[in-house]
Every structure is written in C-alpha cells, then in structure tokens.
Amino acid sequence: MAERKVTVMSEVGLHARPAATFVQTAAQAPFDVTVAKFGVPPVNAKSILSVLALDVRQGETIVISAEAEGADELLDRLAAIASAP
C-alpha cells in the first residue's frame, strides 16, 4: 500500500476550496483512496462530506493511502494539494 504523510498548510485547513480540489483529484482515480488524521479512522478521499467531516486544520498531519498500480503519482498530486499554503 502506498501512502503519504502530509502536513496541511492552508490557512483554512482541508476545507472549502482545498477540500474540493483534493476530492476532485482523488475522484479521477479508478481505485480506492483514503485519507486519515491521527485518532480518526480513514475515510473515502473521493467523498467531499467525508473529507470535510475529518475537520483537518492547518498544521495537522494527514495520511493519504491507496493500493493500486499508479497510486504513487496520484498520492504525490494529493500531497501537493494538501501541503499548499
């Protein structure tokens, strides 16, 4: 399983526009993608409601995971979105 640990840098955390961009990018994958933060079970990264419900704030670390061929490229793109200021 491929995964990326990322510190969220956006002032709004993983909410609003950053969350929408994150989910739209994850939804392009033909395989399952999850996102989690410490102490919370992983959720579907393709679901805007699930991602918003994580309540990820600036400075928190998330783990983005996927298990499929080509997952590394997608995870790199999602990590870049999550770590953008």
Residue 1: pLDDT over 90: no
Residue type (1 letter), 43: V
Q: So what's the pLDDT on residue 70?
A: 85
pLDDT surpassing 90 at residue 76:
yes
- Phi then psi for residue 56, to 5 deg, are -80, 125
71 sits in which H/E element: helix 71-83
- How far is the C-alpha of 70 from the C-alpha of 45, rounded, in Å? 16
CA distance 48 to 70: 22
- What integer pLDDT is reported at residue 64 of this predicted model? 98
Q: In 3D, which of 28, 35, 38 has the Cα closest to residue 52?
A: 35
CATH, residue 48: 3.30.1340.10
> What digits encode the pLDDT tens for the residues 7-57?
999 999 999 899 999 999 999 999 999 999 999 999 999 999 999 999 999
Number of domains in the chain: 1
> 28: domain range?
2-83
Which of the residues are catalytic?
A: 15
